[in-house]
Amino acid sequence: MPGPNALELISQDEAVASPSLIKEYPLAVDYAEGVVVVDVDGNRFLDFMSGISVTLTGHCHPRVVARVKEQAEKLLHICGTDFYYPTYTALCRRLAEKAPGGGEWRVFLGNSGAEAVEGAVKLARYHTGRPQIIAFNGGFHGRTLGALSLTASKAKYRAGFGPLLPGVQHMPYGNCRSCEYNLTYPECGVHCVESWRDSIFARTVPPDEVAAVIVEPIQGESGHIIPPPEFFPRLRALCDEFGILLIADEIQSGMGRTGKFFAIEHWGVVPDIITLAKGLGSGMPISAIIAKDEIMTWPPGVHGSTFGGNPVACAAALETLDLVDEGLMENAIAMGAHLLDGLRRLASRYTEIADVRGKGLMLAIEFSKDGMAHELEQRCFRRGLLLLVCGENAIRLAAPMIITREDANKALGIIDSVLEELTG
Ligand SMILES: Cc1ncc(COP(=O)(O)O)c(C=O)c1O
């Protein structure tokens, strides 16, 4: 592996596609169904990365495909910014009803995660009339210039693209395994949030100039990092004290993958603005900005998109929401717990595993030995299991929400055999 057809496709692609693309391993896909991806040489893979946390309902779920076909035969495009159509309105209603904490919410539909993030930042600035945005070290919010200004997971994403958006500050995240203050939880008193009054707000950014704090409830790209229990309640309190909006970037963690529809619900915190994308359309490109009614006050014309909320993508999202509601979220909780148990058993046998963590099906294995995550990823690919590295030296497991115990056990078995090979 890769086989002859894959090698041929790869060489053709390399001649014409942008060299900026990563290409994690030489997977060249012909078709995919459920949890199985089949490459152009007929090799079959168990997909535990969901096309980078996108195919929540598995690949080409028959109900999503049927809904897409039905919609494609009726209306491909008319432009939701200027006109009305039922799937746009229906999706806005479903997402507004999903928003946590009750009350009235409104929705703007876009095409990609970065677009939702930029729209959320525009909305926060517009609504508050304040210029500054605070994001977190380790955060990933996208690669368009505005979103990139918030992204702080790898310097190479930013290098050579400056100057970026002014008015963006980065603060340490609630990453207790790698605390930037070298403190230990819980003795630290959640210094990463509590210190803001004496640090950033006292020295560099007056809090009444801050429009919003944008945060991933669980940092995805940086390693599926879960902040401590007090982190979000304290951040919410700090935002409330200074009239700052809290934006939860749920693009990777949302849609029920973690066992709650929005991951921030694990902390009982209600944000002011939420961004969704990735899994929302089960693979069709669609994103959403969900904001409290009193915040989404921008008047006609100030924000729009030609393709945003495309009818076919909306249809895919509506079917995805039905599937999530009809049992997939419960399955994510059950299968996530089963996988985490299995990962803990592996951690007790392999000393090179420094940590296993996760909520629902947003799981990670972190290694103490350099390069081990990469090596595991590459060897799992060759044995038919698709995984992805994340963070410094971790592997993320982001299986589709349809997986069975058999799929989970098969994945654990492959990881185990590769670890045995790597450490033996
Ligand atoms: C949390 C988060 N926000 C934003 C984005 C950007 O989304 P997109 O690649 O659709 O622009 C990503 C993508 O990985 C993400 O994980």
355: domain CATH number is: 3.90.1150.10
Residue 53's pLDDT is: 97
Residue 318's pLDDT is: 98
Residue 193 tokens, joined: 């949030």
Percent of all residues in the chain with a pLDDT value above 90, rounded to a whole number: 99
Residue that terminates a domain, selected from 274, 309, 344:
309
Residue in the structure block whose two tokens are 């079917």? 319
Here the CATH number for the domain that contains residue 257 is 3.40.640.10
Residue that terminates a domain, selected from 280, 309, 338:
309
* Interval between CA 148 and ligand 1 midpoint (Å): 10
**Residue 240 sits in the same domain as residue 382:** no
Q: Does residue 68 belong to any structural domain of this protein? A: no
Spatial CA neighbour of 144 closest among 173, 122, 123, 127: 122
The mean per-residue pLDDT over the stretch 162-186 comes to 97
Q: What phi and psi, each to the nearest 5 degrees, are found at residue 66?
A: -60, -45
Q: Whose C-alpha lies nearest to ligand 1, atom 6?
A: 142
The mean per-residue pLDDT over the stretch 80-84 comes to 97
CA separation, residue 228 to residues 177, 234, 248 (Å): 10, 11, 16
The answer for 145, left when phi > 0, alpha when psi is -120 to 50, beta otherwise, is: alpha
Q: Does residue 67 belong to any structural domain of this protein? A: no
Q: Whose C-alpha lies nearest to ligand 1, atom 13?
A: 142
The mean per-residue pLDDT over the stretch 7-35 comes to 97
Residue 1's pLDDT is: 85
**Residue 355 sits in the same domain as residue 286:** no
For ligand 1, say whether the CB of 140 is within 6 Å of any of its atoms: yes
Residue 424 has pLDDT above 90, yes or no: no
Q: How far is CA 139 from the centre of its chain?
A: 11
Q: Whose C-alpha lies nearest to ligand 1, atom 7?
A: 113
Cis bond before residue 186 (omega within 30° of 0): yes
In the chain, the number of structural domains is 2
Q: What is the DSSP letter of 400?
A: -
273-300 as b/e: b if 16+ CB within 10 A: bbbbbbbbbbbbbbbbbbbbeebbebee
For ligand 1, say whether the CB of 119 is within 6 Å of any of its atoms: no
**Residue 289 sits in the same domain as residue 387:** no
* Interval between CA 279 and ligand 1 midpoint (Å): 11
Q: Does residue 321 belong to any structural domain of this protein? A: no
For ligand 1, say whether the CB of 110 is within 6 Å of any of its atoms: no
Q: Does residue 388 belong to any structural domain of this protein? A: yes
Q: State the Cα–Cα distance between residues 252 and 142, nearest whole angstrom.
A: 11
Q: State the Cα–Cα distance between residues 134 and 119, nearest whole angstrom.
A: 15
Write the single-letter amino acid at 336.
Answer: G
Percent of all residues in the chain with a pLDDT value above 70, rounded to a whole number: 100
Q: State the Cα–Cα distance between residues 355 and 393, nearest whole angstrom.
A: 11
216-238 as b/e: b if 16+ CB within 10 A: bbbbbbbbbbbbbebbbebbbeb
Q: Does residue 41 belong to any structural domain of this protein? A: yes
**Residue 94 sits in the same domain as residue 181:** yes
Q: How far is CA 223 from the centre of its chain?
A: 11
Q: Where are the beta strands (DSSP E) in 34-167?
A: 36-39, 44-47, 105-110, 132-136
Q: Does residue 315 belong to any structural domain of this protein? A: no
Q: State the Cα–Cα distance between residues 130 and 127, nearest whole angstrom.
A: 8
Environment class of 118 (CB within 10 Å of its CB; exposed 0-12, middle 13-18, buried 19+): buried
**Residue 235 sits in the same domain as residue 362:** no
Q: State the Cα–Cα distance between residues 301 and 284, nearest whole angstrom.
A: 26
Residue that terminates a domain, selected from 247, 275, 309:
309
**Residue 289 sits in the same domain as residue 339:** no
For ligand 1, say whether the CB of 274 is within 6 Å of any of its atoms: no
Choose one of 221, 251, 276, 289 to mutate for the ligand 1 pocket test, by most ligand atoms within 8 angstroms of C-beta. Answer: 251
Choose one of 145, 153, 252, 253 to mutate for the ligand 1 pocket test, by most ligand atoms within 8 angstroms of C-beta. Answer: 252
* Interval between CA 288 and ligand 1 midpoint (Å): 12
> Domain containing 246: what range?
77-309
**Residue 178 sits in the same domain as residue 298:** yes
Q: What phi and psi, each to the nearest 5 degrees, are found at residue 63?
A: -70, -35
* Interval between CA 252 and ligand 1 midpoint (Å): 7
* Interval between CA 116 and ligand 1 midpoint (Å): 9
> In sequence order, what are the residues at sequence separation of 6 or more whose Cβ sits closer than 8 angstroms to the Cβ of residue 189?
none
Q: What is the pLDDT of residues 209-243, one digit of tens each?
A: 999 999 999 999 999 999 999 999 999 999 999 99
**Residue 305 sits in the same domain as residue 255:** yes
* Element at 171 (helix H, strand E): strand 168-171
**Residue 359 sits in the same domain as residue 405:** yes
Write the single-letter amino acid at 405.
Answer: R
Strand 168-171: give its sheet, edge to edge.
Answer: 105-110, 287-292, 273-276, 245-249, 210-215, 132-136, 168-171
Q: What is the pLDDT of residues 25-58, one digit of tens each?
A: 999 999 999 999 999 999 999 999 999 999 999 9
Residue 292 tokens, joined: 């409290």
Instruction: Report which ligand 1 atom has the smallest distance to the Cα of 219.
Output: 1
**Average pLDDT of the chain?**
98
Residue 55's pLDDT is: 98
Q: What is the pLDDT of residues 342-392, one digit of tens each?
A: 999 999 999 999 999 999 999 999 999 999 999 999 999 999 999 999 998
Polymer length of the chain: 424
Q: Using an 8 Å Cβ cutoff, are 391 and 355 in contact?
A: no
**Residue 53 sits in the same domain as residue 102:** no
Q: Does residue 379 belong to any structural domain of this protein? A: yes
Q: State the Cα–Cα distance between residues 408 and 399, nearest whole angstrom.
A: 9
For ligand 1, say whether the CB of 220 is within 6 Å of any of its atoms: yes
**Residue 173 sits in the same domain as residue 301:** yes
Q: Does residue 375 belong to any structural domain of this protein? A: yes
CA separation, residue 269 to residues 52, 68, 184 (Å): 26, 34, 24
The SS3 assignment for 359 reads: strand
Residue 178's pLDDT is: 95
**Residue 32 sits in the same domain as residue 86:** no
Residue 257 has pLDDT above 90, yes or no: yes
Spatial CA neighbour of 400 closest among 339, 323, 338, 332: 332
Environment class of 248 (CB within 10 Å of its CB; exposed 0-12, middle 13-18, buried 19+): buried
Q: Where are the beta strands (DSSP E) in 269-341?
A: 273-276, 287-292
